[in-house]
Amino acid sequence: MNNPTRKIAFNFDEWQQLARNNPAAFEIKRHEIIAQFFEQLSPEQKNRLEKLQWRIDMERKRCATPLSALFKIYDMMMASLHKQKAVLDSIFDEQPAPGALSNPSRKNTVITMKQPSHS
């Protein structure tokens, strides 16, 4: 794993120009930069984010326009945020989070442990 704090330089104007003038080169460069970023991550983070990137790429392919892809990806992000909030709410409010738990019927039992006597 490389240094996870290393930043990748980003110049919006250059990327915009490349996307307008040469969309194929833009996509190649986009994939290269994403791959560089993934190489900085732990195997667990890399696996999780590669799956997320795949979902994003599939949504981009399915949409007819870049704007519709933007809205679809935004909806994905908001759905994820709402799930995370539901989990946090359930932790702090001690309420079950609807749809946030994989097996809501499963219950755990807390048992009291006796302290060993020091004789």
Global confidence as pTM:
0.64
Q: Decide if pLDDT at 36 tops 70.
A: yes
CA atoms within 13 A on the CB side of 8: 14
List of residues 6+ apart from 40 with CB closer than 8 A: 1, 2, 3, 4, 6
pLDDT in tens, 45-88: 999 999 999 999 999 999 999 999 999 999 999 999 999 988 88
Cβ atoms of 100 and 90 closer than 8 Å: yes
Distances (CA, A) of 60 to 36, 64, 79: 21, 8, 17
